[in-house]
């Protein structure tokens, strides 16, 4: 009997196969070698013929060196935390390519000397928020709030309304973060009602600052009372304590669709000493924490020893600058999308699918802002409804398409799908449908990828 080991192609011979040259370039030789070794074991076990070894290796290798997968967000949630929050603009992605190499992030090419790190991004942020005397960027909004607490209130008190003791995603609680700074929390008011007198009675020699937090993901209604930023700023000025406002969502200026969502410009104009915000929510950029406000206070935070641990990398700085200077990012485009235009796209997509024998209908739906922003706001939208049972195969396809099941249908909300991805969506639905429709119909599905400019609205079924 022939020894099975003699049938196994040598590792160096397999690695020299021209078909493995490109995977070795994109994935690395070590990853390809590991796949070869695994396939050799299968040959030894008699599971794979030696001649098929390279085919097996190619089939087992991942498409890229990252395990992350591109996902088509058809949920209707614009800032979807589980899907990575804000998708970056084309300008920001191009900036990432530039920043991925050697750059002048902290170097003055004219003088050959060290320069202010990320000066382009900081200048763009200052221009976007002219009411801020100083700006600083850290790695997320929690870091921004922690840095402010370390700078202004370590060993002191932070005065905060009980109604703003919020918990956000994954069990993360703002009070725990603040306490980690070494500050003590001084609770004022009640869950539903806090007055200016409550703040005034609590402020004293040990007060580091007064903090106002915009509640995320929930709304307290009914018998309620709160204190606005202007009133707190007036109180803080009179008693000599800073007022910090955490707006959270990253809205730098007012938006007509979000009248109740706080923005940085108005908070600063109302007298806030500092404003903290996220970069990857309504701003539509990369994950970042923004510290905006009085110049010398921002500078104190920037020079705090902990600021180094919260420093952002060159990729974040590049993407943030491009988001601020470039065209409207996808988050803003989705927020501002015209309902009539969405209806036209839904009509065309559903008609193309139905024409191929696929159960697809136009559906009127409601989109959400997401990311903790504007929890009560619903945006009129349009999408395509397919059988609810298709939600899982769509989600596990390539690329994955994530919709939402509503009233017995899997709804694909087009507000969160870029227009140029309509053909991608059609192809994904067609692939799922191909195994569920007659062969004569399935053979026509490839034509769906020709979807182009949205048609005008027609009388499709809702």
Rounded distance, CA 163 to CA 190, Å? 6
Peptide bond into 399 cis (omega under 30): yes
Structure tokens at 393: 């195969």
Q: Does residue 432 carry a pLDDT above 50?
A: yes
Give all strands (DSSP E) within 190-330, no chain letters: 207-213, 243-248, 274-278, 289-293
Q: Does residue 169 carry a pLDDT above 80?
A: no
Q: Does residue 395 carry a pLDDT above 60?
A: yes
Report which of residues 194 and 264 the model is more confident about. Answer: 264
| pLDDT the model gives residue 383 | 97
Q: Taking residues 31-51, what's their average pLDDT?
A: 92
Q: Taking residues 375-392, what's their average pLDDT?
A: 93
Q: What is the pLDDT of residues 197-222, one digit of tens each?
A: 999 999 999 999 999 998 766 667 67
| pTM of this structure | 0.87
Helix-helix angle 29-44:53-60, to 10 degrees: 130
- Counting residues of the chain whose pLDDT is more than 70, the rounded percentage is 90
Most confident of 40-54, 127-141, 208-222, 432-446: 127-141
Closest to 148 in 3D by CA, of 277, 320, 314: 277
- CA geometry: angle at 139 spanning 134 and 144, to 5°? 50
- Residue 110's Cβ-count burial label (10 Å; 0-12, 13-18, 19+) is exposed
Rounded distance, CA 214 to CA 277, Å? 10
Rounded distance, CA 439 to CA 382, Å? 30
User: E strand or H helix at 367, and its extent?
Assistant: strand 361-370
Least confident of 190-194, 240-244, 254-258: 190-194
Structural domain boundaries in the chain: 4-60, 88-327, 332-450
**Which CATH code, of 3.40.50.300, 3.10.400.10, 3.40.50.1000, 3.40.640.10, is assigned to 88-327?**
3.40.640.10
Q: Say how far residue 154 (Cα) sits from the centre of its chain.
A: 31
Q: What is the pLDDT of residues 269-299, one digit of tens each?
A: 999 999 999 999 999 999 999 999 999 999 9
Q: Does residue 125 carry a pLDDT above 80?
A: yes
Q: Does residue 137 carry a pLDDT above 50?
A: yes
| pLDDT the model gives residue 397 | 92
Q: How many CB atoms lie within 10 A of CB 32?
A: 23
Closest to 147 in 3D by CA, of 209, 237, 200: 209
* Confidence category of residue 190, pLDDT binned at 50, 70, 90: confident
Q: Which residue has the tokens 């530039």?
A: 98
Rounded distance, CA 54 to CA 70, Å? 27
| pLDDT the model gives residue 119 | 96
* Confidence category of residue 1, pLDDT binned at 50, 70, 90: very low
Give all strands (DSSP E) within 371-413, no chain letters: 373-387, 401-402, 404-406, 409-413
| pLDDT the model gives residue 5 | 57
Q: Does residue 455 carry a pLDDT above 50?
A: no
Q: What is the pLDDT of residues 307-327, one digit of tens each?
A: 999 999 999 999 999 999 999
Structure tokens at 48: 């794979």
- Counting residues of the chain whose pLDDT is more than 90, the rounded percentage is 75
| pLDDT the model gives residue 457 | 33
| pLDDT the model gives residue 399 | 92
Q: Does residue 456 carry a pLDDT above 70?
A: no
**Which CATH code, of 3.30.1490.20, 3.40.630.30, 3.40.190.10, 3.90.1150.180, is assigned to 332-450?**
3.90.1150.180
- Residue 217's Cβ-count burial label (10 Å; 0-12, 13-18, 19+) is middle
Q: What is the pLDDT of residues 93-105, one digit of tens each?
A: 999 999 999 999 9
Q: Does residue 168 carry a pLDDT above 80?
A: no
Structure tokens at 203: 């402020």
Q: What is the pLDDT of residues 59-87, one digit of tens each?
A: 999 888 888 899 999 999 999 999 999 99
Rounded distance, CA 45 to CA 42, Å? 5
Q: Which residue has the tokens 């580091």?
A: 208
CA dist 120 → 23, 98, 127, 232, 318 (Å): 37, 14, 11, 33, 8
Terminal-to-terminal C-alpha distance of the chain: 69
Q: Which residue has the tokens 């009085």?
A: 294
Phi and psi, residue 292, nearest 5° = -130, 140
The answer to whether the CB of 32 falls within 8 A of the CB of 23 is yes
Rounded distance, CA 132 to CA 274, Å? 9
What is the average pLDDT value for the chain, to the nearest integer? 89
For residue 169, give every residue at least 6 positions away whose Cβ sits within 8 Å of its Cβ, in sequence order, or none: 81
């Amino acid at each position: 009997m022939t020894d099975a080991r003699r049938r196994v192609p040598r590792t160096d011979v397999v690695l020299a196969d021209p078909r493995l040259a490109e995977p070795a370039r994109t994935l690395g030789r070590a990853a390809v070698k590991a796949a070869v070794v695994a396939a050799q074991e299968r040959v030894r076990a008699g599971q794979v013929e030696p001649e098929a070894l390279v085919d097996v290796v190619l089939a087992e290798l991942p498409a890229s060196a990252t395990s992350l997968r591109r996902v088509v967000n058809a949920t209707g949630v614009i800032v979807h935390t589980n899907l990575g929050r804000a998708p970056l603009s084309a300008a920001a992605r191009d900036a990432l390519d530039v920043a991925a190499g050697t750059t002048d992030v902290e170097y003055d090419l004219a003088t050959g000397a060290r320069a202010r790190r990320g000066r382009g991004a900081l200048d763009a942020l200052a221009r976007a928020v002219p009411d801020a005397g100083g700006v600083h960027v850290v790695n997320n909004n929690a870091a921004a709030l922690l840095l402010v607490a370390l700078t202004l209130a370590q060993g002191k008190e932070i005065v905060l309304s009980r109604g703003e003791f919020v918990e956000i995603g994954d069990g993360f609680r703002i009070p725990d973060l603040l306490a980690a700074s070494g500050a003590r929390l001084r609770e004022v008011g009640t869950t539903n009602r806090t007055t200016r007198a409550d703040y005034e009675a609590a402020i004293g020699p040990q007060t580091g600052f007064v903090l106002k937090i915009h509640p995320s993901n929930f709304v307290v209604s009914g018998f309620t009372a709160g204190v606005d930023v202007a009133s707190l700023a007036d109180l803080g000025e009179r008693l000599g304590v800073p007022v910090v406002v955490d707006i959270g969502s990253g809205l730098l200026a007012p938006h007509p669709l979000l009248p109740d969502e706080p923005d940085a410009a108005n908070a600063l104009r109302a007298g806030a000493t500092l404003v903290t915000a996220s970069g990857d929510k309504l701003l539509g950029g990369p994950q970042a924490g923004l510290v905006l406000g009085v110049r010398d206070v921002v500078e104190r935070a920037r020079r705090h020893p902990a600021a180094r641990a919260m420093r952002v990398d060159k990729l974040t700085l590049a993407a943030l600058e491009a988001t601020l200077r470039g065209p409207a990012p996808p988050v803003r485009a989705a927020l501002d999308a015209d309902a009539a235009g969405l209806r036209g796209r839904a009509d065309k997509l559903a008609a193309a699918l139905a024409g191929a024998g696929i159960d697809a209908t136009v559906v009127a739906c409601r989109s959400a802002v997401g990311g903790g922003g504007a929890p009560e706001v619903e945006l009129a939208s349009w999408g395509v409804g397919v059988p609810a049972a298709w939600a899982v195969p769509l989600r596990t396809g390539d690329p994955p398409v994530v919709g939402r099941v509503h009233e017995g249908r899997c709804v694909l909300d087009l507000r969160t799908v870029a227009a140029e991805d309509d053909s991608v969506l059609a192809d994904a639905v067609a692939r799922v449908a191909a195994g569920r429709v007659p062969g004569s119909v399935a053979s026509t599905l490839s034509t769906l990828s020709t979807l182009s400019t949205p048609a005008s609205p027609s009388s499709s079924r809702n």
